[in-house]
Structures are given as structure tokens and as C-alpha cells.
Amino acid sequence: MKRLILPFIILAVAVTAFMFRERWLPQPPGQFNYLGYVEGETTLVGAPQAGRLVSVDAVKGQDVKQGSVLFSLDPAQFKAEVARAQAAVTTAKAARDNLLTGKRQQEVDVIHAQIRQAEASLGLAQKELQRSSTLTSSGTAAQSRLDQAQEQVTLLEQRIIELKASEQVAILPARGPEIDAATSRVGEAEAQLEQAKEKLSDLSPEAPAGAKVEDVFFKVGEWVAAGQPVVSLLKPADVTLRFFVPETVLAKAVPGSAIRFRCDGCDGFKTATISHVASQPEYTPPVIYSETARAKLVYLVEARPDAADPQLRPGLPIEVEPLQ
């Protein structure tokens, strides 16, 4: 019985060795697969303003959609700034509108009343001038009386002309340069309001694109400095394949060339495009390159997957087919 089992054991070992010969037999130059890994390029999201963290909507390990709020800082101070800027805009617009509309109707009515009063006084002065002229002609009154009456009429006529001119000025807007200056102040106040609103919105950053939350660095209640990252995101397209090729096939690793690779747990082969080839080898040989030393040289090659794939996680080992 033992004699029958032994040949089967030897045959099984031989078949197994033949099937896995690529794992232990030396591979011909340029025929073996190149090993590497997936590297992720994360996006760090923070707020340009400092503040206390009041909420965190992003959850580590979960996906977020584009435009989703990731976290929020305390907005109390910046809401007050927006209110102050809004009040400044209202004040500037009121000042400009006041220059455009001229004086109030009540002020214009006062000028009208002054004109009517002056016209009434002019009527009396003209009657006095007529009497003085008659009396002077008959020799009853002195010439000085006539002169005084004439002077009073002239003064009242000039007064009416002055008041009517004031009436025209009262209904006119301000001068052009004054209106331009007021309009400029309105624009300045509106710009400050937009800046205040932008600062307020910056306290609740949104996801720039659909991505996976790699990490959250702060908890609610903690103080966050300006520009300090709070959330780390990884977009499916922001991954790079990094693998190493020997010096003997370096000439085939050309940026723009297509490659095929596979990874643990992935569905079949995937494609990528070489984006960068290192100019320096990972192994530094002696000054004189012998055949043995050249065989040990390896160069780092980077490639971008042709399609975004959630299966390509950072650190995942990959195996690249021989370059053609």
C-alpha cells in the first residue's frame, strides 16, 4: 500500500512545482512582473479663519458628495461683521440718494414763502415809488424821498431774483464730483459686505468633489488655527501607481505609455498610463557599472489609472505586466 501512495505523492509534488514554477524559477530578463503599490494624494481641507469647532459632518471612512459641508466653526463674530457691513452699505446708499434728490420739500416750501413775502414787499415799494414820484414832480416832496423809494424797489427786485435762484438750486442734485464720491463709498461698503459674507461662508467648508474621508483631525469644541487642516479627503482619481522596473527595460518605460496591472482583491486586469519615470535609480552602484551591478539597478515609475476605481486604496500592492 505504501508503495502505491509514494508515487502519487511524488507526482503531486511535481505537478505543484510545475504549476508554480514562475514563483521560484529565475525569470528571463524582461519577462517577470514588476511589483509596486498604490499611493493616494489626499486633499487637506481647512478654514482660512481661526475659530472654535462647533460641528463636524464628515465621518472618517465614509464618502461625501461634492458641495457637502464638512465642518463648521463658530460664526458669531463673523455674523456680527456681516451685520456691521450691511449697516455701512445702507448708510452709504442713503447719503448718495440724499445728494441725488436735492433738498427736502419742507425746505423748498420755506423758500417759496420767502419769495411771496418779497413780492408783496415789492408791490408796496412800487406804490411808494409812484407816490414819491408824483410828489416830487409837484414840488411837495424832496428828491431824496424819491431816491429812497427807487432804491427800495431795486433791493426787493434783487431779493426776489436771489430767492428764485435758491429755489432752483434746492431742487437740483449735488454736483457731479460729490455724487461720484458718494457712489464710490457705496461700492466700497458693498465690497466690504461681500468680503464679510465670504469669511462667514469660509467657516463651513464644502467638499470640492466627491471623495472618501480619510481622516478627521479635530473634535467638536477644539480650537482650530487659521489654515490648519481639519479633514483629509481622497478622491478616487487622485491615486498613483508606483512600481519599479530594472535598468534593462528602462527604455520601455516612456511617459504616456499604457500598462496593465492587477491588485489583490481587484477584478481582473486594469489599465493605466505612465506619467513619470525617476531619473535616478533606487540602488546606487559603483562608478564602474559591471554586468552584475547593472542587473541590480531599479527605477521608480509612476502611472495614473485610466479610470477611477474605489478598489485602488493607498498602500494596496500591485503587479504590473512586463512593458512592451
pLDDT digits (tens, 9 = 90+) for 56-97: 999 998 999 999 999 999 999 889 999 999 999 999 888 887
224 falls in which pLDDT band (50, 70, 90)?
very high
Residue 10 is predicted with a pLDDT of 60
What is the reported pTM? 0.57
182 and 269 in a common domain: no
Mean local confidence (pLDDT), 20-25: 46
209 and 68 in a common domain: yes
Quickly list DSSP for 260-298: EEEETT--S-EEEEEEEE-SS-SS---SS--HHHHHT-E
Residues, the chain: 324
Tens-place pLDDT, residues 152-188: 878 878 888 877 777 666 665 656 677 778 888 888 9
Tens-place pLDDT, residues 254-311: 899 998 998 877 778 888 999 999 888 765 444 434 444 445 678 888 888 888 887 7
d(CA 245, CA 277): 10
Contact predicate 36/318, CB 8 Å: yes
The enclosing domain of 169 has a CATH number of 1.20.120
6 falls in which pLDDT band (50, 70, 90)?
low
For residue 214, tell me if it sits in a domain.
yes
Q: Is the model more confident about 24 or about 49?
A: 49
37 and 104 in a common domain: no
Residues 6+ apart with CB under 8 A from 275: 240, 255, 302, 303, 304
* C-alpha count within 13 angstroms, C-beta hemisphere, residue 79: 5
Evaluate if residue 3 carries a pLDDT over 80.
Answer: no
SS3 at position 82: helix
d(CA 7, CA 304): 50
- The residue segments making up the domain with residue 170 are 82-196
Residue 149 is predicted with a pLDDT of 75
User: What is the number of domains present in the chain?
Assistant: 3
Best CA proximity match to 196, nearest among 317, 88, 54: 88
192 and 98 in a common domain: yes
The chain-wide mean pLDDT, for the chain, equals 79
92 and 177 in a common domain: yes
Residue 222 is predicted with a pLDDT of 92
Q: Is the model more confident about 191 or about 108?
A: 191
211 and 155 in a common domain: no
The enclosing domain of 242 has a CATH number of 2.40.30.170
For residue 16, tell me if it sits in a domain.
no
